[in-house]
Homo-oligomer: A and B are copies of this chain.
Amino acid sequence: MSLTKILLDEKEMPTRWYNLQADMPNLPKPPLHPQTKQPLTGPDLAAIFPMELIKQEVSTERWIDIPEEVQQILKLWRPAPLYRAHRLEKALDTPARIYYKYEGVSPAGSHKANTSIPQAYYNKQAGIKRLATETGAGQWGSALSLACNFFGLECTVYMVKVSYHQKPYRRSLMNVYGAEVIASPSDQTNAGRQILAADSDSMGSLGIAISEAVEDAATREDTNYALGSVLNHVCLHQTIIGQETKAQLARVDEYPDIVIGACGGGSNFAGMAFPFVYDKIKEGKKTRIIAVEPAACPTLTKGKFAYDYGDVAKLAPIAMMYTLGHDFMPPGIHAGGLRYHGESPLVSQLYHDGLIEAKALTQNAVFEAAALFARTEAILPAPESAHAIRVAVEEALACKHSGESKSIVLCLSGHGHFDLSSYDAYLEGSLEDYEYPARMVEESLKKLPVVD
């Protein structure tokens, strides 16, 4: 049997981020100011972001150096291992070769720390004392709490209420790292109070939590805002995933036929995919690159490519992206990290330009794949990551029928140690299979575009 784990030494960790904006055929249309609806300027963003991140947001340089201090922290767990899924392949009786990049080795449990560390670093450099953010499943909140702890920043996390109750231990973990965690919608912000006035039982959404965190940051001089997905600089920081994966595959003389990532706001997908998109653009590679989303929040597969608000309270920029509408409220599915109404503008543009594919899945199909994975590969996947596993399984079974021996690589973006109540629901058969919520989406899409 060939190697199970393909490891890189920490000296082989990438020292630069790959910036897709240098190479993509069409750059996304610029983000707009939510009030003026004019293209955003640096000073607009400077109220909530440090200048280095604003520069990265608009940079068209292909490579951007990772600061030494950031590299040192990332090396606590990176390079992340790439696994050959020998046992999963055997269970599927497939001629396909399945590889998974495991980002759950991060102490916060997912890929999110790849960007929380540099974000905290640049804010610290800029003299900021405190960061405010939102979190869905809790992975981003944990990662930012960890990062703020390293740089001596205070951290306040607005956590989507449905996840706050589903995953109490995510809150505990953030507390251990020294952060304050507030269930959103909360009475701490105008945005939160407005939502609660309209619906005191609101389960919350990423859109609402973003409004609260942005308001918090915009109204306090010492505080900036940090976002765990969607933005260009976030996708940039995640490209360390795909770069490592390419190097690891090369070590066993592989190049993938199919690259798969779960897709909520788009950051782990972007991190895995962009270095392979580069090869499609620059070297004419024919790789299929698949973004996988929940059928309950089908942004790419059922949304509109249009200018839309990034949050419910219209405080965040208007972005050109695939969106289900800024007031779309997805059902309380167990992949809380994939409940955002919009999508990274970079990922959206790639999808619009036909460089990537998208697929939507219902919950039970996802958990079936997750349980199969746990029982073969032993690692318990996060429900978000399991979206990618399900599609890898389907593609591997297609190989079985066609007799093709394709090479499939997926991003296993995090572990599911804080998601066991979801597994309980799956094993008990009480998990609801929310299909594409057609009427909700239709209603919500009527309001688009918010700018022509």
- Residues on A facing B (Cβ under 8 Å): 1, 3-5, 7, 9-10, 72, 75-77, 83, 105, 107-109, 146, 149-150, 168-169, 172-173, 175-178, 371, 374-375, 377-380, 415, 417-418, 420-421, 423-424, 427
Closest to A113 in B: B378
- In the complex, besides A172-B423, A175-B423, 5 extra interface pairs with C-beta distance below 8 angstroms are A7-B9, A76-B378, A77-B378, A107-B374, A169-B420
Given that A72-B1, A177-B374, A378-B76 are contacting pairs, would A418 and B421 also be in contact in the complex, using a CB cutoff of 8 Å? no
Closest to A169 in B: B420
Q: Are B173 and A380 in contact (CB under 8 A)?
A: yes
A1 contacts across to B, CB distance below 8 A: 72
How many whole Å from A207's CB to the nearest CB in chain B? 28
Q: Are B4 and A177 in contact (CB under 8 A)?
A: no
Given that A176-B374, A177-B375, A423-B175 are contacting pairs, would A75 and B169 also be in contact in the complex, using a CB cutoff of 8 Å? no
A377 contacts across to B, CB distance below 8 A: 76, 107
Determine the distance from Cα of A424 to Cα of B181 in the docked complex, in whole angstroms.
13
Determine the distance from Cα of A76 to Cα of B420 in the docked complex, in whole angstroms.
22
Q: Are A146 and B5 in contact (CB under 8 A)?
A: no
Q: Are A5 and B172 in contact (CB under 8 A)?
A: no
Closest to A146 in B: B378
Closest to A72 in B: B1
A10 contacts across to B, CB distance below 8 A: 3-5
Q: Are A175 and B427 in contact (CB under 8 A)?
A: yes
Q: Are B75 and A4 in contact (CB under 8 A)?
A: yes
Q: Are A427 and B176 in contact (CB under 8 A)?
A: yes
Determine the distance from Cα of A166 to Cα of B43 in the docked complex, in whole angstroms.
50
Closest to A418 in B: B417
Given that A107-B378, A374-B177, A378-B107 are contacting pairs, would A76 and B4 also be in contact in the complex, using a CB cutoff of 8 Å? yes
